[in-house]
Amino acid sequence: MKFCSSCGAAVTLRIPEGDDRERYVCSACEFIHYINPRIIVGCLPVHEGRVLLCKRAIEPRHGLWTLPAGFMENGETTAQGAARETWEEARAKATNLHLYRIFDLPYISQVYMFYRCELENGAFGVGPESLESGLYAEDEIPWEELAFPVVRETLRDYFRERDSGVFPVKITGLEYQPRPPSSTQE
């Protein structure tokens, strides 16, 4: 951040009075700019025992597979955002949403929230941020081509828990995990 969004003057990074960490503070109007974690919301859509995955048409991780998810927008609940992202990425209407997984990723200042859901009429397609989408049984998942560690962990938990039918909400903190180079990335 270089300029104040309130008055346009330059900002400096310093600890404001009464605070305990550095913030961007306007040198003219003294406005304190708080930069907080981003929330990513998504769905784990299931139809007839198969999970809906999307192949990414955008960076990061172009060409790799993911659950439909993206940044939450202002003015929506996390469930509304997850359903919206499912529509945008896979042209699928998420129904019967239940909070399933929360991931804290402090090293990139993000929080992920995934909802288990069903697909209305089992219908899906391809949105503008996806190259393709499809329903996959556990043994068909392209495990080596998944875009993000949170997707891998969410899928593993789901397949481990589905036979019992008990899906507890689980909160996991993840530390930085360097990703090995992949030949599937462009």
169 in the same domain as 86:
yes
Three-class secondary structure of residue 3 per DSSP: strand
Q: The domain spanning residue 9 has which CATH number?
A: 2.20.70.10
46 in the same domain as 68:
yes
Domain that includes residue 69, residue range: 38-173
Largest CA distance in the chain: 61
Question: Distance (Å, rounded) from C-alpha 32 to C-alpha 14?
Answer: 10
Q: The domain spanning residue 147 has which CATH number?
A: 3.90.79.10
Q: What is the pLDDT of residues 65-95, one digit of tens each?
A: 999 999 999 999 999 999 999 999 999 999 9
The DSSP-derived string for 99-126 is EEEEEEEGGGTEEEEEEEEEEGGG----
pLDDT at res. 36: 87
Is the pLDDT confidence value at 184 over 80?
no
168 in the same domain as 115:
yes
DSSP 159: H
pLDDT at res. 35: 87
Domain count of the fold of the chain: 2
Bridge partner list, 47: 50
